[in-house]
Amino acid sequence: MPDQTPPPSERNIWLDELQAILQGASGGFLFGIPLLYTVEVWSIGAATEPWWLLTVLAVNLLVVWLLTQVEGFRKSLSLNPLEAILESFEAIGIGVICAALALIVLQRITLATPLSEALGKLVFEGFPFSLGVALARSTLSNNALRIRRRVMLPRSSSSPTLANLRDALVDFDATLIGAVLIAFSIAPTEEVPLIAASLPSLWLLLVMGASLGLSYIIVFASGFADRAERQQRGLLLSSGTETLVAYLIALLASVTMLVLFRQLHPGDPWQEWLRDTLVLGLPASVGGAAGRILV
């Protein structure tokens, strides 16, 4: 029976394409997820006329096209005009799909949502996601930082155990810093308890799964960081273990911020503590993942 395995060059093309899409989606979530926790955007999207939505899409396309001229989410250093336009459309498509998935996870779009309202939310929420897609490489690429860090902190100067411990602490610190940077402006808003109160109990499992999945994709599947290198450094030699521990750090940061902003009180039911923490843990885990690939 003849071998049906595609040639290596074809496999590499598909792998590169998938990795480019995942990189774009990673940047989209980093830019777009804070705006998901804004009730004003939900209201504007639900009440905007179709002609104005087309205007917003046109502006979005123009801005993404301009960004594509100098950046773009692919590795190509030069594009002809047609390729730039096609990549701009693809960036908007990735951004809208990511926004749709996030809105569904947060139950801002459900089967009961009118089509006009859903489209309005997707157009406005998809705008920052699309910008994040176009800026993914410039925002999340860390080659220069990685080279500079190796020069400043040579591993040969300490024992392997101490070096592993140092790397793990650096990753934990980066997770905490990234989680705080992204979730800090969301924690004091009323959107967190509003979303948390509207989610069915079992739906929280989907929120947890989305948080873990996004963290894994950004760090290990997108190609921004060297997966083999990450699995050799630090105390957490498993990508799954690192993702889980990082998520726990993001949850700890989330509950701390909610308490500091007096969104949670000692007398509140434990169910409220759990719901609010998991809802804020979604943007915190995205920020934490971004922080880990930048160190």
Furthest-apart CA atoms within the chain: distance in Å: 69
pLDDT tier at 289, thresholds 50, 70, 90: very high
**Could you tell me if residue 271 is inside a domain?**
yes
Same domain, 33 and 111: yes
Domain that holds residue 268: 144-293
Same domain, 155 and 68: no
Same domain, 127 and 148: no
**Could you tell me if residue 41 is inside a domain?**
yes
The domain tally of the chain equals 2
Which element (helix H / strand E) includes 229? helix 227-232
Please give the model's pTM, rounded to 2 decimal places. 0.84
**Could you tell me if residue 3 is inside a domain?**
no
Same domain, 189 and 275: yes
Same domain, 171 and 283: yes
For the segment 265-283, the average pLDDT, to the nearest whole number, is 96
Convert 82-114 to b/e letters by CB count within 10 Å (16 or more is b).
eebeebbebbbebbbbbbbbbbbbbebbeeebe
**Averaged confidence pLDDT in the chain:** 84
pLDDT tier at 144, thresholds 50, 70, 90: very low
For the segment 93-111, the average pLDDT, to the nearest whole number, is 95
What is the model's pLDDT at position 14?
79
Q: Which of 121, 139, 157 is the last residue before a domain boundary?
A: 139
Q: Which two tokens stand for residue 257?
A: 């911020």
What is the model's pLDDT at position 8?
54
Asked if 279 and 196 touch (Cβ cutoff 8 Å), the reply is yes
Same domain, 172 and 241: yes
**Could you tell me if residue 87 is inside a domain?**
yes
What is the model's pLDDT at position 155?
47
Same domain, 245 and 189: yes
**Could you tell me if residue 159 is inside a domain?**
yes
Torsion sign (Cα): 196, 202, 206, 211: positive
For the segment 95-103, the average pLDDT, to the nearest whole number, is 96
Q: Which of 104, 139, 174 is the last residue before a domain boundary?
A: 139
Same domain, 203 and 242: yes
Q: Which of 106, 121, 139 is the last residue before a domain boundary?
A: 139
pLDDT tens readout for residues 178-195: 999 999 999 999 999 999
pLDDT tier at 153, thresholds 50, 70, 90: very low
**Could you tell me if residue 264 is inside a domain?**
yes
Measure the CA–CA gap between 159 and 181, rounded to whole angstroms.
33
Which residue type does 169 have? L
Measure the CA–CA gap between 25 and 131, rounded to whole angstroms.
10
**Could you tell me if residue 195 is inside a domain?**
yes
What is the model's pLDDT at position 68?
83
Same domain, 19 and 77: yes
pLDDT tens readout for residues 54-72: 999 999 999 998 888 777 6
**Could you tell me if residue 214 is inside a domain?**
yes
pLDDT tens readout for residues 221-273: 887 766 566 655 555 567 888 899 999 999 999 999 999 999 999 999 999 99
pLDDT tier at 16, thresholds 50, 70, 90: confident
Same domain, 115 and 225: no
Same domain, 287 and 151: yes
What is the model's pLDDT at position 147?
40
Asked if 192 and 263 touch (Cβ cutoff 8 Å), the reply is yes
Same domain, 130 and 171: no
What are the E-state strand segments in 180-230? none
